[in-house]
Amino acid sequence: MAERERRSTPPYGGVFVARSQVMDADDVRRAIWRMAHEIVERNHGLDGVVLIGLQTGGVAMAEAFAEALGEIDGTEPPVGTLDVALYRDDIGIRPVLPEAVTDIPVDLDGAIVVLVDDVLFTGRTIRAALDALNSYGRVRAVQLAVMVDRGHRELPIRPDYVGKNLPTRRDEMVNVSPSGVDLGELVKEAHR
Amino acid sequence: MSRHLLSIADLTPADIEQLLRLTDTFAEVSRRAIPKVPALRGKNVVWLFYEDSTRTRLSFEQAAKRLSADTMTFSVGSSSVKKGESLRDTVLTIEAMGVDAVVVRHGSAGVPWQIARWLDDRVSVVNAGDGWHEHPTQALLDCYTIRAHRGSLEGLRIGIVGDIKHSRVARSDVLAYTALGAEVTLVAPPTLLPPSLDGWPVRVGHDLDAVLGDLDVVYLLRMQRERMTEHLVPSLREYADRYGLDVRRAARLRDDALVMHPGPVNRGVEISAEVADLPRSVIIDQVRNGVSVRMAVLYLLLGSGVDKVLGPEIAAHPERLLDLEPEGALQ
């Protein structure tokens, strides 16, 4: 799970305790591979496609996509990273600090941007990301790829590529890593 | 970091490091096609400048605008201070209009602290220079500039040259540089040093030529003619001769040494025109970095919300965390 989530969700700085594994490492790898094929199919190749991983959970996934796409299509698309902290709608309500410097290596004017994140939840991060993209130029299209769609949307946002639809309770947490997807809770260190 | 930025002395080395890291993010914002983020929308920042300033005020103004904050300027020349309004009344009047931060510059040391005491604790105060005392954002942008060129300040030898006595920049710089592990040498004629240097973690020299070859950074201070009412140096020409960085002295600098100056530059006094334009002179970088550093300061104080959750108040009252329950605002 993204470090930002762990630090900024009560109990602050809690520890993620997994209750059940919903995808193992092979499932994650296969899901990346399938979504990569869907990206190529949907865009008739990779012409103009730029992958942008959202800090922090989407960055490693965007790199995994690039590698898979390179094998499928022969060329790896450019990969960038985006930190949406400064565009969030909860600034001043909760602690919001940028985790890393945004790095967009190519001009986004006319590009097809595939935003990549680990978990899609309320949709507020994606709303912020769409806003942030405007500062880099007018993109041709934005598509969204996530490993897990856990529901509870608060905005009219939907993913284009999904690894797994996972029904959850609001207070649960989803942890995505290359070694698998776990469902669990954030627990205060002392209560472990 | 607390609610105010009054002095470098209030910051731990970890606070300074965090601020410099955060500045990288805002430097990236400044490089974008549209260098503006909505982070501080709806926040109101007022400039309370009782002393002249061009670059600091413009730099803060640019920083606030890039964060989408609204700004108001209170400059003494065109205000009711001329009609005899006291500082306290002025501050309370401005507060009543609803502001989130006051950025203050004043000719007397300690005024920002006094203002912080008068204000509601909802309002942040940023010291933009108080008398001869401190100028914390200048020190932070100086640290950021050195770090950008050299990676870190740890173990660097930094010489601060010139009018230390009247310099708030020197006081803040000494605190910040030494907090980050640099060794500081002050170089000035005895008349331009403070009456006492007790407790300053610095070395002192009176001969620039003796230390020049060892320095990683030569930080030249402006000869503050407006504060020079006593005759502390025989003439500016003699000062330039002994302490000015001219071509002859610049040739003796180490290859990777940086030349810095807080501006505005008196060309031909502290630094000769040719040296100010050399590539190793990073004076323009300092100005550029100033905007990014001030964005980081304003964001940390007004936007980050870090004090709400990570500060000691909350540690003492964990029940307040319930008010901050994000209602699933996260993904």
pLDDT at residue B224, rounded to an integer: 78
Is B149 annotated in the active site?
no
Residue-averaged pLDDT of chain A: 91
Category of B184 on φ-ψ map: left (φ > 0), alpha (ψ -120 to 50) or beta: beta
CB-nearest to A122 from B306, B321, B331 is B331
pLDDT in tens, B139-165: 999 999 999 999 999 999 999 999 999
Tell me if A22 is assigned to some domain.
Answer: no
Tell me if A14 is assigned to some domain.
Answer: no
Residues across chain B? 331
pLDDT in tens, A118-169: 999 999 999 999 999 988 989 999 999 999 999 999 999 999 999 999 999 9
Same domain, residue pair B205 and B70: no
Tell me if A154 is assigned to some domain.
Answer: yes
Tell me if B91 is assigned to some domain.
Answer: yes
Angstrom distance (rounded) from CA A75 to CA A46:
8
Same domain, residue pair B123 and B44: yes
Same domain, residue pair B150 and B275: yes
Choose, from B23, B56, B90, B137, the residue flagged as catalytic: B56
Same domain, residue pair B28 and B160: no
pLDDT band at A94 (very low <50, low <70, confident <90, very high): confident
Mode of pairing for the β-strands spanning B101-106 and B44-49: parallel
Same domain, residue pair B90 and B147: no
Question: Residue B82 pLDDT > 90, yes or no?
Answer: no
CB-nearest to B329 from A11, A90, A92 is A90
Closest to B18 (Cα-Cα) out of A82, A98, A91? A98
Q: Do A98 and B22 touch (CB under 8 A)?
A: yes
Angstrom distance (rounded) from CA A136 to CA A113:
11
For residues B326 and A9, the answer to whether their CB atoms sit within 8 Å is yes
Same domain, residue pair B125 and B146: no
Q: What is the CATH number of the domain that holds B145?
A: 3.40.50.1370
- Tokens 């595939």 identify what position? A114
Q: What are B25's two structure tokens?
A: 């993010």
Tell me if A118 is assigned to some domain.
Answer: yes
Same domain, residue pair B26 and B142: no
Angstrom distance (rounded) from CA A144 to CA A142:
7
CB-nearest to A86 from B39, B306, B330 is B39
Residues 6+ apart with CB under 8 A from A43: A49, A112
Is B56 annotated in the active site?
yes
Q: Cβ-count burial of A174 within 10 angstroms (0-12 exposed, 13-18 middle, 19+ buried)? A: buried
Domain that holds residue B78: 8-135+286-305
* Span of A127-136, B240-249, B306-315 with lowest mean pLDDT: B306-315
Contacting residues of A for B39, CB less than 8 Å apart: 85-87, 91
The tally of domains found in chain A comes to 1
Same domain, residue pair B116 and B167: no
Tell me if A6 is assigned to some domain.
Answer: no
Tell me if B47 is assigned to some domain.
Answer: yes
Q: What are A104's two structure tokens?
A: 């967009």
Tell me if B175 is assigned to some domain.
Answer: yes
The tally of domains found in chain B comes to 2
Enumerate chain B positions whose Cβ falls within 8 A of a Cβ in A. 22, 24-25, 27-29, 32-40, 67, 299, 302-306, 308-310, 321, 324-326, 328-331
Tell me if B224 is assigned to some domain.
Answer: yes
Closest to B281 (Cα-Cα) out of B267, B264, B260? B260
Same domain, residue pair B177 and B253: yes
Sheet containing strand A15-24, edge to edge, reads A15-24, A180-187, A173-177
3-class secondary-structure state, position B178: helix
Is B55 annotated in the active site?
yes
Residues across chain A? 192
Domain that holds residue A115: 35-171
Packing angle, helices B55-66 and B283-302, rounded to 10: 50
Tell me if B330 is assigned to some domain.
Answer: no
Tell me if B70 is assigned to some domain.
Answer: yes
Choose, from B4, B43, B66, B105, the residue flagged as catalytic: B105
Tell me if A99 is assigned to some domain.
Answer: yes
Q: What is the CATH number of the domain that holds A138?
A: 3.40.50.2020
Q: Give phi and psi for B296, each to the nearest 5.
A: -60, -40
Tell me if B316 is assigned to some domain.
Answer: no
Contacting residues of A for B33, CB less than 8 Å apart: 135-137
Q: What ipTM is given for this predicted complex? A: 0.83
Tell me if B315 is assigned to some domain.
Answer: no
Same domain, residue pair B12 and B39: yes
Contacting residues of B for A96, CB less than 8 Å apart: 303-305
Q: pTM, whole model, 2 decimals?
A: 0.88
pLDDT at residue B306, rounded to an integer: 55
pLDDT in tens, B250-263: 999 999 999 999 98
Same domain, residue pair B299 and B267: no
For residues B6 and B113, the answer to whether their CB atoms sit within 8 Å is yes
pLDDT at residue A11, rounded to an integer: 67
